[in-house]
Amino acid sequence: MAPPASRAVSPWPFVGMSGMAAAFFLYAASGLVAPWWGVVLLLAVWLALFVTACRWWTARPRGVVVLAVVAVVGWYVLVLAGDVLLDWNA
């Protein structure tokens, strides 16, 4: 009996999840510039992105990296919008 064919493991989901972990710290530290309800909303956004990244782990490995970049850029845009539109400040 022949051994099962091995598939190469892509490093991209690991890179993407590292980026998601880095983005989590940005979202969690937003309490320095956002009210508590803004932090809760930001963490809900991050959680939705994280669940999507987990679902894309095998199906779209490079998409997980793109999602991590979207998470960081999205955090910046949301915090900036909160500052401009809702007067969030430290």
pTM beyond 0.85: the answer is yes
> Tens digits of per-residue pLDDT, 6-65?
778 889 999 999 999 999 999 999 999 999 999 999 999 999 999 999 999 999 999 999
> Tens digits of per-residue pLDDT, 57-89?
999 999 999 999 999 999 999 999 999 999 988
Distance CA(9)–CA(18), nearest Å, equals 16
- Please, are residues 81 and 32 in contact by the beta-carbon 8 Å criterion? no
| Separation in Å, CA 44 to CA 1, 7, 28, 30, 89 | 50, 35, 11, 13, 20
Distance CA(42)–CA(24), nearest Å, equals 10
Distance CA(43)–CA(51), nearest Å, equals 12
